[in-house]
A and B are shown apart, each in its own frame.
Chain A
């Protein structure tokens, strides 16, 4: 929390850096042909290579490398022309080879940035440096079966060898809210690029956070609290909550102990979401020496500028540019553009198709946000499967614009279109809605005026809002009338009486 921008002034600056692991959207693993599909029965997506059987050798998945390259280019990283693989040696039951193939001193990309602007304006623009992006294989999964009381651990190696992109940021984030905002933008970017589905529930995106406090001292020195690494956060909301908790905790510890960085080893704490606290994890001093050395079973990878250009050309627009594009092309607010873009590329495509058909971005945006998104939230599903396609919705909106019916009537028609899959015209027919002709409407209005002298008198007396009472009577006579039109006609007729 930066003292100058936070609501409640605090006498310290929060320093946050993130380590994000993203599972790449490949069909097969990083070094073998096994499927990466989520949810298969344990140990059914394995082969000698990802099981680490004697004599097996890895072969790099070219698509995984291209996807990782795409991510790094989108994060504005420098791409190394020469990169190699290293073995990270550690012993764990879900790591079949006893080492993980990763990248140590020559990652394929370094020195990038990703800037985020909060459309709500509550947080200033934050520009976060990327230390490095590298590619590595995932380990298997250990499932601790404590329910049986036996303390058994079961190993599922389906995930072993899945391609992961590790993104390490500079400690450039200054508040838990910033961290969450930035992670949202990173996720959106990776999803837009097709690099990852970033599904946190399935473990496609995992975040660890490093956090400490910088506390100005009376003598002008900055005291720094020991850096804590927080693990086990299962959503961006958890990341924000864990960081808020940890900031407060560190401030409390500081006030008690005045312990500074370097005096104690870096601590790892796990986030306990239900309890809302971080807890110290057992130290694993011996595992910190990974004995990295170059992986002799793989050859170094060279990346030419032509390859970079090819990846760039298939990259598509990042969300930040899509937002700007929507604002300028369709004259919608930054806020609205943000809401639409956050829903993903497919929704943006739907919006643009609709806006083009009706020739109005604002109306298209309103319909999407108020009706389409609400429906999606209620019913689930994706915009690609949404039964009302842009053309059908555009037809409905055109009828509203033509004054055939008002918005609330249009919403009923929209519901019918959703339920039946009918076009706007067919839905109107099936609902028995007949458009009331102008002459018919004037005649109807005359009838109501004749039957409601009190209201007519009120309107005459200057209480124009009394005309609303006429609309109810009109609707009783004919449910298909356009209330706005009725109101206008009635007032005109009353004025003509005078």
Chain B
């Protein structure tokens, strides 16, 4: 059996038992990366030597009987928005090209402490701004199910990496759907935990009140395994929650009988692709078959989610991205004295930012700066905060009646690369079903619930109240015990990846 055919849970067990060495396991995935990444562009940086050295040290320790961490030997890919002390961290932006942080993100430290093997950094939309991975300064990611299509975003590299078996699990971040939407479009499982469940320390900020790091894997059970390691209080992140972290993997067994799943009728209005609608309805049927009950619920303010999100997120981003000025680190424009600027310093700032940021990032910096400006603040930012509270209240009200909320992740399956790049507004609407989760600060998971006739994955989303990760994972795992959508692999991937000539 090939390591790529094993779940993360089984891989870790195999390494622990000595059936598979960490080096063998790591090598298998590194070779897969070497083979596939050229066609997919999921990785911005692969640390072959570092990964093998790490695996080797795990094997040495295992052979000498020393204790191993819970993820020993598990290859993990990390979204390039998370700081790694030994690898460049760029957030897929030219402005951070060659930036090496002096520290590991909290999540990266946790992974290392758990003896996971970090194999590289994955591609993404620049500063996590985008839903297609086309905003990367280092080229788009290709969806392993159809190279002409987008993998979704912003964690498109992490999603494609797992979908193409280049690693069994990956770390993503989700500000408005950036884990769940690419997971849905790539046919994998992605969890956005409750805001504060996973420390944001070392995550390059996009919108601080919305950003959350989470696991992406082939199954809910594998997500549970990774979440156990990365969740938990971090005194270095004031917004991280102090609640104890449950053993998610041990809470999967309980059946779904009596679990109430909400269904929002408005989700099925015009705009939802009929094949996606069908797949989602069938997913509700599977949950029913597992013993859950399905109830229509109202989310009256959900329709304002995208508008609210596209005020709150750019406002915070405009402030978070002010620090990239070319002075201390990252891209600095070469001096080219001209009289167009107040001073050589101002020129350096302006040109560094002009050259370093991509068009979507600039657009959001401008949107946010505008919306926070005096005279506009009340009409935009302050109003968005009010609507955010109403959306949060919608969730609180809904969770009085149901335990989970189900529905589509995105309105269509993976779209063509270039299809929406000329229309930023159309691109913003791909976040329709996912942004409210972040605005409310609750958790959500997405996993495949079928395929279109043309063979593209269809995603299903579940959302739970704050700290409802055990139920999210249990329901998804139960679904995956009854279906095999999550086990399907992109057909002919090996052949398609074969370098031409």
Contacts and interface: CB of A to CB of B under 8 A. Distances in A.
Contacts of A93: 327, 345
A91 B352 CA distance: 15
Contact of B105 (A55, A96, A296): A55
B238 A96 contact: no
B96 A99 contact: no
A110 to B, nearest CB: 21
A289 B374 contact: yes
Given A296-B316, A298-B238, A91 B322 contact: yes
A89 B201 contact: no
Nearest to A88: B319
Given A87-B319, A291-B373, A54 B238 contact: no
Contact of A299 (B239, B315, B377): B239
B329 interface: yes
Interface string A437-480: 00000000000000000000000000000000000000000000
A346 B374 CA distance: 49
B7 interface: no
A59 B236 contact: yes
A55 B204 contact: yes
Interface in A289-346: 289, 291-293, 296-299
B204 A59 contact: no
A216 interface: no
B325 to A, nearest CB: 7
B239 A96 contact: no
B238 A57 contact: yes
A99 B319 CA distance: 7
B225 interface: no
Contact of B329 (A53, A57, A89, A98): A53
A60 interface: yes
Interface string A388-399: 000000000000
Given A55-B105, A60-B238, A296 B208 contact: yes
Interface residues of B, number: 43
Nearest to A59: B238
A89 B322 contact: yes
Contacts of A289: 373-374
A147 to B, nearest CB: 19
A268 to B, nearest CB: 19
A57 B201 contact: yes
B83 interface: yes
A58 to B, nearest CB: 7
Nearest to A31: B238
A59 B373 contact: no
B369 interface: yes
B333 interface: no
B103 A48 contact: yes
A52 B91 CA distance: 16
Contacts of A51: 328
A293 B373 CA distance: 10
Contacts of B201: 55-57
Interface string A54-82: 11111110000000000000000000000
Contact of B319 (A48, A55, A291, A298): A291
A59 B374 CA distance: 29
B128 to A, nearest CB: 12
Contacts of A91: 322, 325, 349
Interface in B458-474: none
Contact of A55 (B83, B209, B377): B83
A223 to B, nearest CB: 29
A214 interface: no
Nearest to B99: A54
Contacts of A187: none
Given A291-B319, A292-B372, 6 more contacts: A52-B323, A55-B103, A55-B205, A289-B373, A293-B316, A293-B372
Interface of A: 48, 51-60, 87, 89, 91, 93, 96-99, 153, 289, 291-293, 296-299
Nearest 9 CB-CB pairs, A to B?
A98-B322, A296-B209, A291-B372, A296-B208, A55-B202, A54-B204, A55-B83, A52-B323, A289-B374
15 contacts: A52-B323, A55-B201, A55-B204, A56-B201, A57-B237, A57-B238, A59-B237, A89-B318, A89-B319, A97-B322, A98-B321, A289-B374, A291-B374, A293-B315, A296-B207
